[in-house]
A and B are shown apart, each in its own frame.
Chain A
Amino acid sequence: MIDTTLILKIFHRLPLSLISIIVTNTLLIFGFVIGKIVLYKFEDAIKFFAYFSVLMCALFVLYFISILWFSAGSLYRGNTVYAAIFPIFLFLPFFIGHFATYEKVHLYTNIQILTLVISLLLALSFI
């Protein structure tokens, strides 16, 4: 049985920036997985997945802002290790995007999902 009160109590203690990272990270993983498995098969629905991709872009922006917010907060509190770890995930999507090709889009999407999962696990480890 999941103790929701305990989860809420834990979340209440967490900095907002960390919650924001966890939420946006989870949504991005879901977005990529659902997109890869279901949505992008309907290539004719251009308008639909155009908006879906816009939503994903917006989530990425929120994710980046959350990371910067968390890192700045950690630096302010003197926790340089915390401050230094997360910014790596700021660059990874661009790094992956730089090398990605259409022929290997599934491979690079999987790599992107993997990095997001690692980032989520890292965020959860701070709880």
Chain B
Amino acid sequence: MGKSLDFEFVHDNKCKRAVLLFHGMTGSPYEMKKMGKALYDADFDVFCYCLPGHGTSPINIKTVRWEDWYTDSTMHYRNLTQEYEEVYLGGLCMGAVLALAIASEYREVRGILSLSTTLFLDGWTIPWYNFLMPVGVHTILRYYYSFPEREPYGLKNEVLRKKIAALQKRNTEALDNYPMSCIYELLKLSKWAQKNMFKVQAPVLLIHAKEDDLTSPKSAEFVYKHIGSKIKKYIRLENSYHLVVMDNERDFVFEQSIEFLNSLSAYGPKISKQPPVEDDLAETAGV
């Protein structure tokens, strides 16, 4: 099932620029599809693959380590660099952390779209007993505990929320729970990414919802503050939750992402090409 969720949107004529997208923790490429389509329409070839352990059954996700996600993603990135002159990375949630982690090792990454970056699990839906998490994640209990996914499922849009809730019951496109072992691996990846954040030189666009239910804007602010990139932009959304690529402001997210990538690309449309923004904070940003 996992592989069947993968997508590749490739133009017939040889395109010189590609975007590799990474989905979020317990998600699947399904959640990135609309964004992929928008990027494809803007003349990027787009690729998104199911991360190891995802898109099959809840058991499989407990067997993988963050190194598996990293190795698999790196392999896809390296394959694309053989075929394209410009390769950009984009990710949502854990996918954003992966994109940053890869960019810290590969200086030739042309740009990063970091959406709802999840370095810390401190959103407003995190339960009150979260303070017990260190004991849970660092002991054998992590293989027994799953944090049940609950409303609003990362969405402020109530119509979409019902759709996602129905999808989660199938436990393929998205899981209805976050296994603690998966959170443990995410936190390890996050720690590694934080340590190497200064190495990231690629231009980065950070988009984070003010009311993100899973991870507060603190994560995006951390990246903005510690990243080595000279070109960085942070946009804070006012009317979305965690799944910014599906929620109320998704069109704005796509538009900003395309504009940002075009501003970095040598092959972008001349009309929309903007000069790179140095140390720019978007008007909605509050850092």
Q: Which residues of A contact B (CB under 8 A)?
A: 35, 40, 43, 46-47, 49-50, 53-54, 56-58, 60-61, 93-94, 96-98, 100-103, 105, 108-109, 112
Nearest-neighbour CB distance to chain B for A51, whole angstroms, equals: 9
Contact check, A56 vs B143: say whether CB atoms are below 8 A apart. no
9 contacts between A and B (CB under 8 A): A53-B136, A53-B141, A53-B180, A54-B145, A57-B135, A94-B138, A96-B140, A100-B140, A100-B142
- Chain B residues 168-189 with CB under 8 Å of chain A are 176-177, 180-181
Set of chain B residues within 8 Å of A56, measured between Cβ atoms: 141, 144
A66 CA to B208 CA in the complex, in Å? Answer: 42
Which chain A residue has the least Cβ–Cβ distance from B147?
A50
Contact check, A50 vs B148: say whether CB atoms are below 8 A apart. yes
Contact check, A102 vs B140: say whether CB atoms are below 8 A apart. no
Secondary structure class of chain A's binding surface, majority of residues: helix
Set of chain B residues within 8 Å of A50, measured between Cβ atoms: 145-148, 177
Known: A46-B176, A102-B62, A103-B63. A94 touches B144 (CB 8 A): no
Q: Is B139 an interface residue (CB 8 A)?
A: yes
A43 CA to B63 CA in the complex, in Å? Answer: 16
Set of chain B residues within 8 Å of A43, measured between Cβ atoms: 58
Known: A96-B139, A98-B138, A105-B140. A47 touches B132 (CB 8 A): no
Q: Which residues of B contact A (CB under 8 A)?
A: 58, 62-63, 129, 132-133, 135-136, 138-148, 176-177, 180-181
Which chain B residue has the least Cβ–Cβ distance from A94?
B138
Set of chain B residues within 8 Å of A61, measured between Cβ atoms: 132, 135
Contact check, B139 vs A94: say whether CB atoms are below 8 A apart. yes
Contact check, A112 vs B140: say whether CB atoms are below 8 A apart. yes
The 6 closest A-B pairs by CB, nearest first: A53-B145, A97-B139, A57-B132, A102-B62, A93-B139, A105-B143
Secondary structure class of chain B's binding surface, majority of residues: helix
Our pick among A46, A58, A93, A103 for the contact of B140 (Cβ within 8 Å) is A93
Set of chain B residues within 8 Å of A102, measured between Cβ atoms: 62-63, 143, 181
Set of chain A residues within 8 Å of B146, measured between Cβ atoms: 46, 49-50
Contact check, A58 vs B132: say whether CB atoms are below 8 A apart. yes
Nearest-neighbour CB distance to chain A for B142, whole angstroms, equals: 7
A47 CA to B147 CA in the complex, in Å? Answer: 8
Known: A47-B148, A49-B144, A53-B145. A97 touches B132 (CB 8 A): no
A56 CA to B144 CA in the complex, in Å? Answer: 10
Nearest-neighbour CB distance to chain A for B191, whole angstroms, equals: 14
Set of chain B residues within 8 Å of A60, measured between Cβ atoms: 135, 139, 141
A100 CA to B181 CA in the complex, in Å? Answer: 10
Known: A46-B177, A54-B132. A108 touches B140 (CB 8 A): yes
A96 CA to B141 CA in the complex, in Å? Answer: 11
Contact check, A97 vs B138: say whether CB atoms are below 8 A apart. yes
Additional A-B contacts beyond A57-B145, A97-B141 (9; CB < 8 A): A43-B58, A50-B145, A50-B147, A96-B139, A97-B138, A98-B138, A103-B63, A105-B143, A112-B140
A93 CA to B138 CA in the complex, in Å? Answer: 8
A101 CA to B143 CA in the complex, in Å? Answer: 8
Set of chain B residues within 8 Å of A109, measured between Cβ atoms: 140
A49 CA to B180 CA in the complex, in Å? Answer: 12
Set of chain A residues within 8 Å of B138, measured between Cβ atoms: 93-94, 97-98
